[in-house]
Amino acid sequence: MPSDTELVPISSSILSSYGGKPLLQVGEAGRAPRDVADALLALCTELPWLRITELFRTTATQALARKKYETWVAAGKPTGASFDAKTMKAAFVAKPGKSMHNGGRAIDVDVNTLKTAYGKEYLDAFWPVAAKHGFTPVIARPEEGKSESWHYDMRGCWDLVGDTHGYEIMGLCAALVVGQAGAWQGDVRLAQALLLRAGYDIGEPDGDFGTRSKGAFAATGIKWGPTTAEGLAALRALPAATTWKV
């Protein structure tokens, strides 16, 4: 199976921010597609002091974090004494099934280790190193202290989808192929995500196998119908594209 469509355990040498414990031993966080696992190992080999707070999240874990975020928003985004860190989460959390964390393609880096290693302008120093290994920030500029300054994606095979259809659809596709799209998980949406991965721009994976989806499927030469499992396996085996096919 291609290295970007299934979750595998990451190296035990990749350390978490939880007392330096291997991230592999922190719940289910220590899993990622093979290409992400390899890139993260290379990054942490270059920066052995780096600590990772988050990687893979199940949709159940994502739902809990999203609920805390929505509670904070509903309360008027409080700060100070009115903010309860146990029941509210001020940082943005994507809907379950639409996060790059659900696809195992996002890391949250422990900012304190960056500060210790690089000093005041730690993002300016870290961004080029992260980029060398394929990890890109979600904030536009290296602003220390900005919310989500700790979040980095390895877009990989979903880069074209993100550029064309936006971040949320990219996250959904990444989650679909590893079975973590929650309420959006389904064979048709999965097939559509895999068609997008292969370079067929069928639009958003909406679960409606319309004209564009059918046309793209016909172009692959892969059969569907009663052999759904075989069809999905064949779609997974298609190479990821970097440009849309005409």
Q: What is the pLDDT of residues 119-158, one digit of tens each?
A: 999 999 999 999 999 999 999 999 999 989 999 999 999 9
Structural domains of the chain, count: 2
- Residue 26 domain-assigned (yes or no): yes
pLDDT of residue 166: 97
Domain interval for residue 133: 7-57+99-154
Confidence of residue 168 (pLDDT cuts 50, 70, 90): very high
Q: Which stretches does DSSP call E strand in 96-153?
A: 106-109, 136-137, 151-153
| Helix, strand and coil in the chain, % to nearest 5 | 45, 10, 50
pLDDT of residue 72: 85
By percentage, how much of the chain surpasses pLDDT 70? 98
Domain closes at, from 111, 138, 154: 154
Pair (105, 183) in one structural domain? no
* Nearest-angstrom CA–CA distance, 52 and 54: 6
pLDDT of residue 60: 81
Measured CA angle at 16 (ends 11, 22), to 5 deg? 45
Residue 67 Cα distances to 71, 75, 148, 169, 177, angstroms: 6, 12, 18, 21, 24
Torsion of CA 85, 91, 96, 98, to 10 degrees: -170
Q: Which stretches does DSSP call E strand in 23-91?
A: 31-33, 52-54
Does residue 8 carry a pLDDT above 70? Answer: yes
* Nearest-angstrom CA–CA distance, 180 and 104: 9
Pair (120, 227) in one structural domain? no
Pair (51, 133) in one structural domain? yes
Pair (17, 129) in one structural domain? yes
Pair (165, 118) in one structural domain? no
- Residue 2 domain-assigned (yes or no): no
Pair (22, 138) in one structural domain? yes
- Residue 245 domain-assigned (yes or no): no
- Residue 190 domain-assigned (yes or no): yes
Pair (42, 144) in one structural domain? yes
Please report, as a single letter, which amino acid is at residue 154: M
pLDDT of residue 84: 86
Pair (49, 103) in one structural domain? yes
- Residue 142 domain-assigned (yes or no): yes
Per residue in 176-235, pLDDT (tens digit) is 999 999 999 999 999 999 999 999 999 999 999 899 999 999 999 987 665 588 889 999
Question: 211-221 b/e with 16+ CB inside 10 Å = b?
Answer: eebeebbeebe
Chain position carrying tokens 């046309």: 215
DSSP category for residue 84: -
- Residue 81 domain-assigned (yes or no): no
**Which residue, among 53, 61, 39, has the nearest Cα to 129 in the 3D structure?**
39
- Residue 28 domain-assigned (yes or no): yes
